[in-house]
Amino acid sequence: MQFKKYLPTLAVVLSPLMGWAQTTWLPRGDKQEIILDRLEIKAQKDPLLNLSKTKPYSREFFVPAVRNYLNADSALDAHLTKVDKYYVKSLLANNLEWLPEEEREHYRSKKLVGNTFYQYPAGLFETHSKDFDLVINPVLNIGYMNEKDNDQSLFYNTRGITIRGRIAKRIGFHTSLTDNQERYPTYVQDWMTERTAVPGAGYYKDFKAAGGRDFFDARGYITFGATKYVDVTFGYDKNFIGNGQRSLFLSDFGNNNLFLKLNTRIWKFNYQNLFMELTNAYKSNPGDDLLGKKYAAMHHLDINITKWLNIGVFEGVVFGRANRFELGYLVPVIFYRSVERDQGSPDNALVGMDFKANVARTAQLYGQLVFDEFKLSELTAGNGWWANKLGYQLGAKYIDAFTVKDLDLQLELNRVRPYTYSHYDSVANYSHYNQPLAHPLMANFNEWIGVARYRPAPKWMIEGRAMYYTQGLDSTGNVNFGSNLFLPSVTRSGGDYGHEIGSGWKTNTAMASLLLSYELKENLFLELMGMIRRQRYLDPVVPTQKSTIFNIGVRWNIGRRDFYF
């Protein structure tokens, strides 16, 4: 019996409670995330905006929070730049179902297309009535790339549709369907070949010449309010926990997965439960074979300790069972490690903490600490015991940096020890569909990321990114030095000690990119980007891998698809 077979029973139990308002979620990578980050830091003490670690963002909470502060907090309004106000207006225009009817009319278009389409500027077809809201938009992401010393035709071509809505203000729904063909630069193709996967996608086929991929991406979910304070979401999509560019708990780097999410927001708390069905491993051209399943259960608690400081705790477990879910993990308020121990400790359990502090309406400090496994005596001894499996993140955001309006800076450090996220078998590792559930570099690395974003005018954005990381990779012959979480930890190299970050085949990788983006109309972007990447193996036999890439593209109603690894 699979995890999904328990869901109808749960739905029956909860269905009598489906009388409260529900929410839909802002897609990851949406431009609205920029203004929400800035508003949270500028407001500093907003009890709703400060509960922002679990993503995607809830429209039900952030839209009223933004409206309330614009109407009631003149100090915040004074801190908004001209570009901020443009983004706030755009945010509200993209979420009209959460505005009062009289306010919604202010956004109605003066000219319609065919007397039917674009009644509002952010929706191809958009209608709002007493008991029904519906927004339909096309999705387009097409572009061409040129890589130095690569004579392949490089491109990406995504077409599709996105639909969201509400029924009687009780049921929310969202679906996104896209058809994709792409051929990316050499380093991305190498990653796909090594992992037998496409980053962020599931089943794929080869497309024409070498390196091309063809895949269909379908996402969707339904939501309802189980009580005044609890939202329930059941769907097939992605989730993210954290405030950084990366997450050491759960990222949206990999493929979509089936999940049931319970989100409880009350007083100073936001508590999220995630129950997920994952794919153990994927082989190309599997025929009609059923792919192996495994499961994950996670919960994350956010607490507003003060009006500017937020502390969180996290716990997750990944496990495999023959034809069943471990029912003990369904209890939403239990300590998973205790359940896992009572089962004989066969599963991969992680615990962690995170924090976020808003400072002086201009900065935010954040971080994460994750423990996969450790022994305090071995940790303090500093002898590189292999099972001290842990990682941490430290980061800072600085908005309107150095008093330059609309210049935002971010610096982030991620450091993960060898063998973190791996397990003694190949089932319970921290992965899904041949892709990591957390950081795309997996383990055994030290990474720095810097982001500079400048918006000189409402429709323009210039964004520079830089990344540098050191990682100890596995040498030839699949010798396991702890970077590859797909290798069982029992196959580790050497003895129990001397395992440090960089152990193995040490590599240094540096990347830098510059993006110029112009919003031609609501959610339609014209973009130019240049990128350089250098990967140096500290071995004289292996030459440095170099990539210099230029990209031009058009993006409509979809987030950017980037490969920073």
pLDDT of 175 reads: 98
pLDDT at 374 over 70: yes
Query: Which helix (H) or strand (E) segment is 84 a member of?
Result: helix 82-93
Cα 271 to Cα 54, 274, 427: the distances in Å are 9, 10, 28
Question: What tens digit of pLDDT does each residue of 331-351 get?
Answer: 998 888 888 888 888 899 999
Distance CA 313, CA 302 (A): 7
3-state secondary structure of 545: strand
Total count of domains within the chain: 1
Distance CA 516, CA 529 (A): 6
Question: What tens digit of pLDDT does each residue of 76-132 get?
Answer: 667 799 999 999 999 999 999 999 988 998 999 988 888 889 999 999 999 999 899
∠ CA 11-270-355, nearest 5°, is: 140
pLDDT at 449 over 90: yes
Cα 51 to Cα 58, 152, 269: the distances in Å are 10, 46, 8
Residue 406: which CATH number? 2.40.160
Examine residue 467 and state whether it is found in any structural domain, yes or no. no
Q: What is the CA radius of gyration of the chain?
A: 23
∠ CA 530-531-537, nearest 5°, is: 165
Query: Which helix (H) or strand (E) segment is 380 a member of?
Result: helix 376-381
pLDDT of 165 reads: 97
Examine residue 236 and state whether it is found in any structural domain, yes or no. yes
pLDDT at 135 over 70: yes
Examine residue 510 and state whether it is found in any structural domain, yes or no. no
Examine residue 517 and state whether it is found in any structural domain, yes or no. no
pLDDT mean over 60-86 = 80
Examine residue 116 and state whether it is found in any structural domain, yes or no. yes
Tell me which range, 60-64, 150-154, 495-499, is most confidently predicted by mean pLDDT: 150-154
Of residues 364, 455, 404, the one with CA closest to residue 90: 455
**DSSP assignment, residue 288?**
T
Examine residue 540 and state whether it is found in any structural domain, yes or no. no
Of residues 105, 81, 78, 79, the one with CA closest to residue 92: 105
pLDDT of 27 reads: 93
Distance CA 354, CA 243 (A): 9
Strands 435-436, 505-521: pairing is: unpaired
pLDDT at 16 over 50: no
Side-chain-facing half-sphere of 7: CA atoms under 13 Å: 17
When the pLDDT of each residue in the chain is averaged and rounded to a whole number, the result is 91
pLDDT of 11 reads: 47
Examine residue 444 and state whether it is found in any structural domain, yes or no. no
Q: Which domain holds residue 58?
A: 3-412+422-434+479-498
pLDDT at 208 over 70: yes
Examine residue 504 and state whether it is found in any structural domain, yes or no. no
Question: What tens digit of pLDDT does each residue of 455-493 get?
Answer: 999 999 999 999 999 999 987 656 899 999 999 988 898
Q: Which CB contacts under 8 angstroms, 24+ apart, belong to 211-214?
A: 211/152, 211/183, 211/184, 212/181, 212/182, 212/183, 213/180, 213/181, 213/182, 213/183, 214/180, 214/181
